[in-house]
């Protein structure tokens, strides 16, 4: 156990949490209004989220040993971070609007509603990381503290942090033998079907030449604003095996995408007409 953890009182820890939440809210709000871009606000959120994680993992031993108390504290901070960030970004938005009307600044790039949404996107998307943090602390508080400390210092990146904190859940999920229903489209796309899929979808059956009867239905693929209705065949499969296969295919897809991106860049470059080329640097005039 670290010296920092041993010497932390509950009152001191609560104060540190409050300060960390304040820093999170102020800086994420500033990033949201400064750029008007979701990704920039999300990067700032990740930075201060790591520092907040160090504070959580530096709780007094009695708190670290009490999973329910630890979960309640992190949940409270999760809600406070959202509320305080929204308040901060709306105050900044209103101040910028007022200044612009008075001729002393530019109006915000975002609407008031978009600013509010963008400011809390980072923390909302990290709910699963919060839950994994609670589990890691309950099993190995020293590992949780060292992981967040290394991430805050830059030794670990965000992906590595998430992998360490989510290791227990991943192992549990891949070892699950529970049967689930999966809808598979003709092009190979798969979708997890909720237990009540027979109520939420118009499920039909058909008899194949082999004599087997299969279920099929139409379901939606794609993200909001870009969806398509696709027919899928519904089968019962083992949950852990489906997850392991999905993870494997995701890794293959990343490699394929990187390779295809390289091909696209090279072949597009070959199609460039010389008269439109822009040199990468000035010609050298000496040996320096």
Residue 286's pLDDT band, with cuts at 50, 70 and 90, is confident
pLDDT in tens, 235-280: 999 999 999 999 999 999 999 999 999 999 999 999 999 898 888 8
Is 60:93 a contact under the CB 8 Å cutoff? no
Strand segments (E) across the chain:
179-185, 190-193, 204-207, 213-223, 226-238
DSSP-assigned letters across all residues of 30-82: HHHHHH--HHHHHHHHHHHHHHHHHHHHTS-HHHHT-HHHHHHHHHHHHHHHH
Mean pLDDT in residue range 222-241: 94
Mean pLDDT in residue range 198-208: 96
Q: In the structure encoding, which two tokens stand for residue 45, read together?
A: 């959120």
Taking the domains of the chain in order of start, what are their residue ranges? 3-173, 192-241, 242-275
- pTM, to two decimals: 0.80
- Specify the pLDDT at position 287: 64
pLDDT in tens, 53-100: 999 999 999 999 999 999 999 999 999 999 999 999 999 999 999 999
Q: What span, in angstroms and rounded, lies between the C-alpha atoms of 197 and 181? A: 9
Beta-bridged to residue 276, according to DSSP, are: none
- Inform me whether the pLDDT recorded for 172 exceeds 70: yes
Beta-bridged to residue 9, according to DSSP, are: none
């Amino acid at each position: 156990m670290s010296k920092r953890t041993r010497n932390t009182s509950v009152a001191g820890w609560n104060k540190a949490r409050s300060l960390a939440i304040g820093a999170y809210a102020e800086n994420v709000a500033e990033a949201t209004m400064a750029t008007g871009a979701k990704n920039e606000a999300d990067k700032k959120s990740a930075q201060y989220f790591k520092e907040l994680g160090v504070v959580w993992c530096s709780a007094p031993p009695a708190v670290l040993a009490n999973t329910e108390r630890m979960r309640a504290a992190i949940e409270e901070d999760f809600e406070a971070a959202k509320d305080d960030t929204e308040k901060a970004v709306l105050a900044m938005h209103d101040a910028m609007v007022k200044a612009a009307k008075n001729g002393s600044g530019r109006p915000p790039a975002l609407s008031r509603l978009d600013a509010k949404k963008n400011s809390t996107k980072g923390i909302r998307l990290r709910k699963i990381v919060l839950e994994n943090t609670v589990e890691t602390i309950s099993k190995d508080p020293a590992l949780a503290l060292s992981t967040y400390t290394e991430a805050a210092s830059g030794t670990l990146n965000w992906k590595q942090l998430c992998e360490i904190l989510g290791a227990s859940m991943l192992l549990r999920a891949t070892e699950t033998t529970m049967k689930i229903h999966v809808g598979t489209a003709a092009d190979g796309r798969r979708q997890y079907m909720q237990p009540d899929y027979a109520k939420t979808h118009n499920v039909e059956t058909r008899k194949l030449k082999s004599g087997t009867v299969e279920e099929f239905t139409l379901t939606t693929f794609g993200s909001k604003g870009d969806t398509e209705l696709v027919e899928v065949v519904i089968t019962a499969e083992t949950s852990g095996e489906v997850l392991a296969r999905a993870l494997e295919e995701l890794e293959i897809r990343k490699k394929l995408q990187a390779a295809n991106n390289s091909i696209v860049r090279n072949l597009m470059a070959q199609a460039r007409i010389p008269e439109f080329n822009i040199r990468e640097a000035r010609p050298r005039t000496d040996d320096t």
